[in-house]
Chains A and B, each alone.
Chain A
Amino acid sequence: MKRSALSWLVPVLSLLVLVGAWYTAGQLGVLSDRSDIPPLAAVCSAARKWFQNGRFYEDLFASLQRVIPGILLGAIGGAVVGVVTGRARLVYLFVGPVLHIWRALPAVATVPFLLIVFGVSEASKITIVALGVFFPVWIAAHEGAGHVDPKYLEVARDLEFTPIQTYRRIILPATTPFIVAGMRTGIAIAYIMVFIGEWIGASRGLGYQLSVAHVVSSTEHMVVGLAALGSLAFLTDAIYRTAIRALLPWMDERNA
């Protein structure tokens, strides 16, 4: 069998095995009403209701409205600040300590504080996501920009590039693989942050639905919410990877 076919067949098979085992356990009565793990049929029924009453799309849309701008803001901010701190030592010495102290904090621990400071608004939840994305992108861009291969900088001097041309043609492209890797981590953190933000202060969103399910102790609704959040995060990562391969084809093969 070709490797490309294997690369999607095996993951699909692993999911089918998981779902099959879950379904069988429900049918055999292993997952009884008293069990904390709901049977697959109950989860499917809860999911159907969520889809049919239209709330799912509202929640999905609400979460995406926070995640997408948050990722963009955090990534742009992290990349810009990272490139600057990576290349300008004085700027790094000035802002580095504050950023490192903030970065060392567990991201979720800062959410209650941020919600009080910025208020329970859409802007505050976007800010929470953006801050979660900012730090992995910043540190990646900082490292990347600080370690541009001197060979390429020598090429810039040989070709008499201006400082702006050196940034555009050498430093930024050389830092891009680092930023791309940092953003992948950032995307995963973005979903953690939106979940926390919605759990604490929202009336719509996938995180909010999970908080409601928690309050009423409905494990089937919790599983639906978790599956939706997990699938969305997985899908975002898959779209991101596909987009990167299409937009930056040199990155995949640069060490080929």
Chain B
Amino acid sequence: MPEESNRALAIHLEGVTVSYGGVEILRSVSLDVLEGQLVAIVGKSGSGKTTLLKAINKLLHCSGTVDVEGRARMVFQEDRLLPWFKVRSNIAIAMSGQRGATNGQTSVGRERAAELLSEFGMSNLADRYPHQLSGGERQRVAIARAFAARPDVVLMDEPFGALDVLTRESMQEWLLAFWRHHRAAIVFVTHDVEEGLVLADRLAVLRDGELLTPTVVPFDRPRDPALRFSGAFLTARQEVRSMLAGGRDSA
């Protein structure tokens, strides 16, 4: 990876505000994410995490500046696989934004789906429907779909939130291994402080619609799974938890 100073901005947010019915969900959020960087946004339920991702992906109206370099894709909280398509087509349809691709069955889409499924060790699932997969498998397919069109930015909205602890931890390791070879900039939203610290280069706390200044996560990569039990990790976790609890509703 190039030095940080040489890396271009993948996402630039300045003064982003989102209101619903007179209530401000996001208040003047500013954030820069460099290309190939993984930034975790940690916040409690209702703090505006999903709204922030949707604002970046232009899925909702907001005021302020939202600049995203290149193509952005989203991994939703629920996998949102299309139940009427098999796994292969669920990935292949993500190539629709490509020139010449008219439907999920184009050779470009099929080839890309086969490539990703093979890389994920999931080629045997290509002809299954989403309802025939486990929760972890479904999320992997959703992540494959997000990465299919080789996006520059991937926005992940608590993608492992519905999984049990063990599956969740193995998915985190798997995501890091995968991301090592597919360096998109990732904004990873989570309510789990540990998850944010394990995954991210930088971590920012979102509190009542306000984004606190991101801090650098001080752990080298690749990260050892045993990192979670180190003193430095526990100290960092406590610091983030304190920032989370500092909000007006933290009594």
Residues of A near any B CB (own CB < 8 A): 151-152, 154-155, 157-162, 165, 168-170, 173-174, 176, 248-251, 253-256
Residues on A with C-beta less than 8 A from B96 are: 159-162, 165, 169
The count of A-to-B residue pairs whose CB atoms sit within 8 angstroms is: 60
Chain A residues within 8 Å of B84, by CB: 173-174, 176, 248, 250-251, 254
Most buried by A among B83, B84, B94: B84
Instruction: Contact check, A152 vs B82: say whether CB atoms are below 8 A apart.
Output: yes
A254 in contact with B131 (CB, 8 Å): yes
- Per the bound structure, the CA–CA distance linking A165 and B76 in Å amounts to 20
Interface of A is mostly: helix
Nearest opposing residue in chain B for A248, CB measure:
B84
What residues of chain B lie closer than 8 Å to A251, measured between beta carbons?
84
Specify the chain B residue showing the minimal Cβ separation from A253: B131
A159 near B83: Cβ-Cβ < 8 Å: no
Q: Are B129 and A170 in contact (CB under 8 A)?
A: no
- Asked whether, in the complex, the Cβ of A173 is within 8 Å of the Cβ of B82, the reply is yes
* In the complex, B93 has a CB within 8 A of chain A: yes
Closest to A164 in B: B102
**Contact of A169 with B104 at beta-carbon distance under 8 Å, contacts A151-B78, A161-B96, A176-B84 already known:** yes
Which residues of the partner chain B approach A159 to less than 8 Å between Cβ atoms? 73, 93-94, 96-97, 145, 149
A162 partner residues in chain B, CB cutoff 8 A: 96
Q: Which residue of B is nearest A159, CB measured?
A: B94
B80: chain A residues at CB < 8 Å are 151-152, 154-155
Please name all residues of chain A whose beta carbon is closer than 8 Å to the beta carbon of B93 when the two chains form the complex. Answer: 159, 161, 169
Q: Are B59 and A154 touching (Cβ within 8 A)?
A: yes
List of B residues within 8 angstroms of A173 by Cβ = 82, 84-85
Q: Which of B59, B85, B102 is the one whose CB lies under 8 Å from A158?
A: B59
3 closest residue pairs by CB, A with B:
A173-B84, A160-B97, A254-B83
CB of B154 to closest CB in A, whole Å: 11
Whether the pair A151, B97 counts as a contact (CB closer than 8 A) is no
Contact check: which of A157, A174, A249 meets B129 at CB < 8 Å? A249
The yes or no answer to B172 lying at the interface (CB within 8 A) is no
In the complex, what distance in Å separates the CA atom of A174 from the CA atom of B80? 13
Interface residues of chain B: helix, strand, loop or mixed (majority): loop
Question: What are the residues of chain A within 8 A of B104 when measuring CB–CB?
Answer: 169
Task: Specify which of B73, B93, B102 lies most central, judged by the most chain A CB atoms within 10 Å of its CB.
Answer: B93
Contact, CB under 8 Å: B129 / A253:
yes
Chosen A-B contacts, 17 in total, with CB atoms closer than 8 Å, are A151-B78, A151-B80, A154-B80, A155-B80, A159-B94, A159-B97, A160-B96, A165-B96, A165-B103, A169-B103, A169-B104, A173-B84, A174-B84, A176-B84, A250-B84, A251-B84, A255-B131
A159-B145, A165-B103 provided; 10 other pairs, C-beta below 8 A? A159-B73, A159-B96, A160-B97, A161-B96, A169-B104, A248-B84, A250-B83, A254-B84, A254-B131, A256-B131
Residues of B within 8 A of A255 (CB): 131
A165 to B84, CA, bound (A): 14
In the complex, which residues 34-48 of chain B have their Cβ closer than 8 Å to any Cβ of chain A? none
Which residue from chain A places its CB closest to the CB of B86 in the assembled complex?
A250
* B74: interface (CB < 8 Å): yes
Q: How far is the CA of A151 from the CA of B82 in the complex (A)?
A: 10
**B123 at interface by CB-CB < 8 Å:** no
**Interface bits B120-157 vs A (CB < 8 Å: 1, else 0):** 00000000010110000000000001000100000000
Question: B57 interface residue, CB < 8 Å from A?
Answer: yes
Question: Chain A residues with Cβ under 8 A from B129's Cβ?
Answer: 249-250, 253
Q: Are A158 and B82 in contact (CB under 8 A)?
A: no
Q: Which of B97-114 contact A (CB under 8 A)?
A: 97, 102-104
| Residues in chain B near residue A169, CB distance under 8 A | 82, 85, 93, 96, 103-104
B52 to chain A, nearest CB (A): 15
Q: A250 CB to closest chain B CB, in angstroms?
A: 5
Write the nearest CB–CB distance from B137 to chain A, whole angstroms: 15
Chain B CB within 10 Å, residue with most, of A154, A174, A251: A154
Across the interface, which residues of B come within 8 angstroms of A253, CB to CB? 129, 131-132
- Chain B: which residue is nearest A174 at the CB level? B84
Min CB distance A189 to B, Å, is: 27
Q: Chain B, 78-92, contact with A by CB distance < 8 Å: what is the 0/1 string?
A: 101011110000000
Cβ distance B186 to chain A, nearest Cβ, rounded Å: 15
CB distance from B108 to the nearest CB of A (A): 14
